[in-house]
């Protein structure tokens, strides 16, 4: 019997070993390596690395650019945690009803989310183009030519333009996750509430929202990560963080320092600061949202 148990345990270990090796090689090792690099002064190419401890982290918070970058990321995170969540929830509730063509509408609303970030950035760069862009052409055609401008060329309009682009790309994800959550809610809950005299708004507040706790936890977590890391492709493709750092965010700033300024240690420190920020927000939030689930 003991031999059979050991044999079964060995077989299970052999089954998970490939996945474990892939995880260690492509996830754990790069993270450990990045942490080590963040404690060194290194250009990313030379064989020698000079150990400087946490100086890269200290330099980040001494750099005036860092505060602009953090402010932009904070604003991006706040907007992403409000607008796509509300729009996604509204669309999910609407498309959860038996409407004609609802599958087509779901596909249309979700399709921007599956597009590569860089592709989204290029599409909207064309829309915002001052000479041939669709936005300025529409403004001219409806008699609002006085508002025609280079949307990505001015600090006052560049970041709002980036936010609109990221919102457009992000709405589909919360919509789909909320829709999946809505379909898991038992209709009997609504029937019982209706018998007790609850109106539609009360049913939404006291039944729908609590039943979507897990969906909210996943959506918020993904949007926080997206605001810190995945927005890179859009900002990089549209503005490169300009004009004048007005659209600079942590992920693009990390890329610039690592590959353009040849400060791999400093870039790795920025990457770990991004990771720590995400963990400090996501972990407590998930614990709170799933505490009573």
- Cα separation of 145 and 131, whole Å? 12
Which pTM value belongs to this model? 0.87
Give the pLDDT of residue 5.
Answer: 62
What share of the chain in percent tops pLDDT 70?
95
- What per-residue confidence (pLDDT) applies to 10? 74
User: What is the distance between the alpha carbons of residues 131 and 239, in angstroms, rounded to a whole number?
Assistant: 17
Q: Considering the chain, what percentage of its residues have pLDDT values greater than 90?
A: 69
What mean pLDDT is predicted for residues 77-92? 95
Q: What is the DSSP letter of 40?
A: E
Region 17-21: mean pLDDT is 87
Average pLDDT over residues 44-66: 93
pLDDT digits (tens, 9 = 90+) for 131-166: 899 999 999 999 998 999 999 999 999 999 999 999
Question: Which range, 2-11, 33-42, 197-206, has the best average confidence (pLDDT)?
Answer: 33-42
Specify whether the CB–CB gap between 164 and 234 falls below 8 A.
no
Question: How far, rounded to the nearest angstrom, does the alpha carbon of residue 36 sit from its chain's CA centroid?
Answer: 26
Query: What ranges do the domains of the chain cover?
Result: 1-38, 54-290
Mean pLDDT of 246-266: 94
Higher pLDDT, 285 or 162: 162
**54-290: CATH architecture:** Orthogonal Bundle (1.10)
Rounded to the nearest integer, the mean pLDDT of the chain is 90
Helix (H) or strand (E) holding 41: strand 40-41
């Amino acid at each position: 019997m003991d031999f059979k148990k050991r044999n079964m345990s060995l077989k299970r270990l052999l089954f998970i070993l490939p996945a474990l090796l892939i995880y260690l090689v492509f996830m754990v090792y790069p993270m450990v390596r990045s942490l080590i690099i963040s404690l060194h002064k290194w250009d990313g190419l030379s064989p020698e690395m000079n150990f400087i401890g946490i100086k890269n982290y200290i330099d980040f918070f001494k750099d005036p650019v860092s505060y602009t970058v953090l402010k932009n990321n904070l604003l991006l995170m706040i907007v992403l945690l409000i607008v796509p969540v509300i729009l996604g929830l509204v669309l999910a509730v609407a498309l959860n009803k038996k409407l004609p063509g609802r599958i087509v509408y779901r596909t249309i609303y979700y399709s921007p989310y599956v597009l590569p970030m860089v592709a989204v950035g290029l599409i909207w760069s064309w829309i915002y183009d001052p000479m041939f862009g669709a936005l300025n052409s529409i403004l001219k055609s409806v008699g609002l030519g006085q508002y025609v401008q280079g949307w990505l060329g001015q600090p006052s309009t560049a970041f709002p333009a980036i936010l609109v682009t990221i919102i457009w790309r992000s709405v589909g994800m919360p919509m789909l996750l909320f829709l999946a959550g809505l379909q898991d809610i038992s209709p009997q809950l609504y029937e019982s509430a209706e018998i007790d005299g609850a109106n539609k708004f009360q049913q939404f507040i006291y039944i729908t929202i609590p039943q979507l706790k897990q969906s909210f936890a996943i959506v918020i977590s993904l949007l926080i990560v997206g605001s810190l890391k995945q927005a890179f492709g859009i900002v990089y493709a549209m503005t490169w963080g300009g004009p004048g750092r007005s659209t600079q965010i942590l992920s693009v700033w990390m890329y610039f320092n690592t590959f353009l300024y040849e400060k791999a240690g400093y870039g790795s420190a920025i990457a770990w600061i991004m990771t720590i920020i995400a963990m400090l927000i996501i972990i407590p939030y998930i614990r709170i949202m799933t505490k009573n689930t």
